[in-house]
Amino acid sequence: MRDDMTSNRAEGASEGAGDGLRGPAWVGTRVDPGERIPVAGTWELVDHPDGRDCPGHGELRALGRGDSTPECPTCGESATWQLSQLAPTAADHPHPDAPR
């Protein structure tokens, strides 16, 4: 069970984004059922709201910014997803002729 006092919730993530973090979320950010994905990346299914022990836990999905949280691909129920890796952006790979 998750302790909401230490949870990496997407709603409050943008408040700390000025500390060298990229975008409105960082690795470890969790998104509950019905919420929108805040950043593109690889997301892992980490929980079901009813606490069920489902073999779908650990499933990975590439999700884009603004996507709805998908249901569990194993049981079809709503699920909580956690950001495992941010997707690379053009800013990560500047053009070689761009001024530095």
Share the mean pLDDT of the chain. 78
Residue 58 has pLDDT above 80, yes or no: yes
Query: pTM of whole model > 0.75?
Result: no
**φ/ψ (deg, to 5) at 41:** 170, -165
- Output DSSP code: residue 10: H
Looking at per-residue pLDDT, the higher value among 11 and 25 belongs to 25
Predicted confidence at residue 27, as pLDDT, reads 92
80 pLDDT higher than 50: yes
Distances in Å between the Cα of 8 and the Cα atoms of 11, 34, 78, 83 are 9, 17, 19, 10
